[in-house]
Amino acid sequence: MMGTELNQTANSAFSDYIVYVDESGDHGMQNLDPNYPVFVLAFCIFHKRHYANQVVSALHQFKFRHFGHDLVVLHEHEIRKEKGAFTFKGKHQKTQFLDELSQLIRVHNFILVSCVIDKSKLSGTSDQNKNPYHLALGFCLETLHEFLQEKNQQNLITHVVFECRGKKEDNELELEFRRMTNGANRAGINLPFEIVFADKKVDSPGLQLADLVARPIGLSILRPGQPNSAFDVLKEKFYCSGGRQNVGRGYENWGLKVYPLEKSEKPR
């Protein structure tokens, strides 16, 4: 029935949460970009009721205001480079667009879990021959499980949505995802997660928001002294130790992991 709010029944096999994933940077180790030698994986975790009733409508209303229709798919790269629909009529229009988008992200609730692989430091470690994407995936899945335990949702099926990248890449990712969820993780347990692939052209608000967060996270690690207004908003979203009273702090090596660690840092 139209207008009915999403309502998970007590007997549902599915958790109350949905996860959207995107990445920033090249996960290959052959060519190292000196300007961006990192790979970032970002999990955006939404409560389904809030996502369906608030986030989806807010993003479509944002598009109606700026484009007159809601078929534009938001991509961080195209916005940054002002390509296609994101060709702004002057600095003021672009600033207004970015400010409204930042406010939309600020006011709507989601939990952020991310891993940054510093590829320039990975060489020479015991993991130098491992796929940076798979290393980041392992951390994010394990942290997702910790979050779901906190919400008493760990025994229900949670879907994790990835954007398609190509048949070979998708097959490799699915194989690694299923290997990890079948027990190849630090806890040595089965994780009730299901992988879902979405076509690049699909209009998924969750995937679009995940696309917007990954690069600012990478830049915050590469250039910590540089102003990064997008990351300043995201700091309030990370899964962190100490509960909500510690929002904006206590997320390092918790909701945000950088690997390899500096020698002075200790893994939690």
Query: Is 129 a domain residue?
Result: yes
Kindly give the confidence (pLDDT) of every residue in the chain, 268 residues in length, as a single tens digit, with 9 standing for 90 and above: 344 445 555 558 999 999 999 999 988 777 788 889 999 999 999 999 999 999 999 999 999 999 999 999 999 999 999 999 999 988 999 999 999 999 999 999 999 999 999 998 887 787 888 899 999 999 999 999 999 999 999 999 999 999 999 999 999 999 999 999 999 998 899 999 999 999 988 889 999 999 999 999 999 999 998 999 999 999 999 998 655 555 555 688 789 999 997 644 555 5
Identify the domain containing residue 53 by its residue range: 14-259
Query: Is 268 a domain residue?
Result: no
The model's pTM: 0.90
Q: Which CATH number characterizes residue 99's domain?
A: 3.30.420.10
Query: Is 135 a domain residue?
Result: yes
Query: Is 63 a domain residue?
Result: yes
Query: Is 241 a domain residue?
Result: yes
Query: Is 81 a domain residue?
Result: yes
Domain count of the fold of the chain: 1
CB 13 within 8 A of CB 156: yes
Query: Is 156 a domain residue?
Result: yes
Query: Is 210 a domain residue?
Result: yes
